[in-house]
């Protein structure tokens, strides 16, 4: 939808056709866990506009339709309706699939909840009304949101993760700890370093639990929150080049290896700004920004996308959790040298109502002192600080700069000492200690 809107904005005379296998367009799938968690009252709120709105806008949307073949030479797309659409420019936004569970019992989709389609989410929400227990498989971003949502809804929730802590690809154990503490308070069972071995079913084929390396867990459903795999079937069959992360390779203009074929969102890979490693499966704001570039380019305009530094954040447990680029764990795994510092500050004056802790961990390059990563957990202002720190990583801002940053101090909205500055000062102190 972002690409379509940008294409029309660039060339209002363009004829834009969208093909989607879903019954709907332009809703916010990101809101689904929060409806399940009862923070948002209604699925209807997630829709951005009526179908008529898009008709009025001049978009030709083919709902419940799948593109089955792409011929980049003839410049045609074949639909499952049999229709063959010609194109001047094509944007591939085929997204992702959850990585296969690959265990016995997983072929039967019954009882397995793959969070994506809003219509299915509406059906699952009814199931949750009577479910007593649920397993969430993998504690990545969606898994973390779903564990929080299900526990908030009062369902006995089990997280099964082969890693030793949740969000292990982006956080360190000390940062996730307040989230885990809150989860335990909320009654969540954390099965870490635990391998899923089978989906267990009764004689009718209904899911009755899961088998794991930590034993059997009885459950009424399992949320499959495995990592995102780029849905490249159409592109691959058409001979479009894929990269080492499995995503479609694109240049700054979101151009693929095929002429006049662009791609965006979870189906592509984008170089990381610090490591230059291509990464795939970013956030909705990344997908949307990429879509706008692809749409502008598809309509003949000029717009570029940039390497990413990936600020991220969410509500997890009773905290907000966030970060930018590398954790200590990831930096170590990638062999990236770093120095780190961590500090806990507060979000408002210490005497102001609803003051919350804010913990910041910073990673810097030991030579240049440039920021290369951040993690945050706390009660307020996590998203805004993650955005700030992502720009700092991008622009080569150092922990010395951050240690001397100015900050707003006003009792209701900010504390005397900014937690980012405290963490930067701690990083410098750790460097000094290491040198002495």
Binding site residues, its own copies, CB under 8 A: 28, 30-31, 34, 39-40, 45-46, 283-286, 288-289, 306, 308-315, 320, 322, 349, 351-353, 381-388, 390-392, 394-395, 397, 401-402, 404-414, 416-418, 420
Question: In whole angstroms, how close is the CB of 259 to its own copies at the nearest point?
Answer: 26
Report the alpha-carbon angle 149-321-144, nearest 5.
Answer: 35
Report the alpha-carbon angle 175-265-38, nearest 5.
Answer: 55
Question: In whole angstroms, how close is the CB of 284 to its own copies at the nearest point?
Answer: 5
Question: In whole angstroms, how close is the CB of 292 to its own copies at the nearest point?
Answer: 10
**Cβ distance to its own copies smaller for residue 106 or 355:** 355
Distance CA 32, CA 328 (A): 31
DSSP labels, 66-116? -EEEEETTTTEEEETTS-EEE-SSEEE---EEEPP--STT-SS-TTEE---
Residues in the chain: 436
**Cβ distance to its own copies smaller for residue 200 or 389:** 389
Question: In whole angstroms, how close is the CB of 31 to its own copies at the nearest point?
Answer: 5
Distance CA 22, CA 294 (A): 21
Question: In whole angstroms, how close is the CB of 221 to its own copies at the nearest point?
Answer: 22
The dihedral region occupied by 191, where left means phi > 0, alpha psi between -120 and 50, and beta the remainder, is beta
**Cβ distance to its own copies smaller for residue 64 or 304:** 304
Among residues 151, 179, 155, 149, the alpha carbon closest in space to that of 166 is found at 179
**Cβ distance to its own copies smaller for residue 34 or 113:** 34
Question: In whole angstroms, how close is the CB of 138 to its own copies at the nearest point?
Answer: 18
Backbone angles phi, psi at 58, to 5 degrees: 95, 15
Element (H, E) at 136: strand 133-137
Q: How far does the chain reach from its first CA to its final CA, in angstroms?
A: 56
**Cβ distance to its own copies smaller for residue 77 or 320:** 320
Tokens matching residue 303: 């717009």
Question: In whole angstroms, how close is the CB of 84 to its own copies at the nearest point?
Answer: 34
Who's near 339: CB < 8 A, 6+ residues apart? 363, 364, 365, 366, 427, 430, 431, 434
**Cβ distance to its own copies smaller for residue 46 or 240:** 46
**Cβ distance to its own copies smaller for residue 12 or 102:** 12
Question: Are the C-beta atoms of residues 368 and 395 closer than 8 Å to each other?
Answer: no
Among residues 265, 304, 310, the alpha carbon closest in space to that of 288 is found at 265
Distance CA 148, CA 170 (A): 18
Among residues 316, 345, 375, 319, the alpha carbon closest in space to that of 172 is found at 375
**Cβ distance to its own copies smaller for residue 162 or 283:** 283
Question: In whole angstroms, how close is the CB of 384 to its own copies at the nearest point?
Answer: 3
**Cβ distance to its own copies smaller for residue 232 or 319:** 319
**Which parts of 131-237 fold into alpha helices (H)?**
141-152, 173-185, 233-237
Q: Hey, is 420 helix, strand or coil?
A: helix
**Cβ distance to its own copies smaller for residue 31 or 366:** 31
């Amino acid at each position: 939808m972002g690409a379509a809107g940008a294409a029309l904005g660039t060339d209002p005379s363009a004829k834009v056709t969208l093909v989607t296998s879903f019954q709907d367009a332009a809703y916010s799938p990101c809101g689904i866990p929060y409806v399940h968690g009862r923070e948002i009252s209604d699925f209807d709120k997630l829709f951005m506009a009526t179908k008529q709105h898009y008709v009025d806008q001049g978009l030709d949307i083919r709902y419940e339709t799948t593109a089955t073949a792409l011929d980049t030479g003839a410049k045609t797309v074949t639909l499952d309706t049999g229709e063959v659409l010609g194109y001047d420019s094509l944007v591939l936004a085929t997204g992702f699939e959850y990585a296969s569970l690959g265990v016995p019992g997983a072929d039967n989709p019954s009882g397995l909840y793959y969070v994506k389609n809003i219509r299915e989410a509406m059906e699952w929400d009814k199931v949750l009304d009577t479910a007593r227990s649920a397993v969430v498989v993998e504690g990545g971003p969606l898994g973390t949101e779903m564990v929080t949502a299900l526990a908030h809804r009062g369902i006995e929730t089990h997280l099964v993760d082969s890693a030793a802590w949740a969000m292990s690809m982006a956080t360190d154990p000390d940062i996730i700890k307040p989230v885990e503490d809150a989860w335990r308070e909320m009654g969540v069972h954390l099965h870490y370093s635990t391998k899923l071995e089978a989906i267990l079913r009764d004689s009718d084929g209904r899911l009755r639990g899961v088998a794991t390396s930590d034993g059997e867990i009885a459950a009424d459903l399992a949320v499959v929150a495995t990592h995102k795999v780029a849905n490249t079937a159409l592109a691959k069959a058409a001979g479009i080049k894929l990269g080492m992360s499995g995503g479609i390779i694109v240049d700054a203009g979101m151009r693929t290896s095929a002429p006049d074929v662009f791609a965006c969102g979870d189906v592509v890979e984008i170089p990381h700004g610090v490591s230059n490693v291509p990464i795939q499966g970013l956030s909705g704001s990344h997908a949307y920004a990429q879509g706008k570039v692809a749409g502008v380019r598809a309509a003949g305009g000029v717009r570029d996308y940039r390497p990413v530094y990936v600020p991220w954040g969410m509500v997890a447990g009773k905290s907000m959790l966030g970060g930018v680029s590398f954790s200590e764990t990831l930096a170590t795994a990638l062999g990236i040298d770093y120095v780190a510092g961590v500090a806990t500050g507060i979000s408002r004056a210490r005497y102001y109502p609803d003051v919350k802790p804010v913990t910041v961990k910073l990673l810097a390059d030991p030579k240049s002192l440039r920021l290369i990563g951040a993690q945050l957990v706390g009660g307020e202002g996590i998203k805004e600080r993650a955005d700030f720190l992502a720009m700092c990583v991008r622009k080569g801002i150092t922990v010395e700069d951050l240690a001397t940053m100015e900050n707003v101090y006003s009792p209701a909205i900010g504390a005397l000492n900014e937690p980012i500055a405290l963490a930067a000062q701690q990083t410098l102190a750790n460097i000094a200690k290491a040198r002495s």
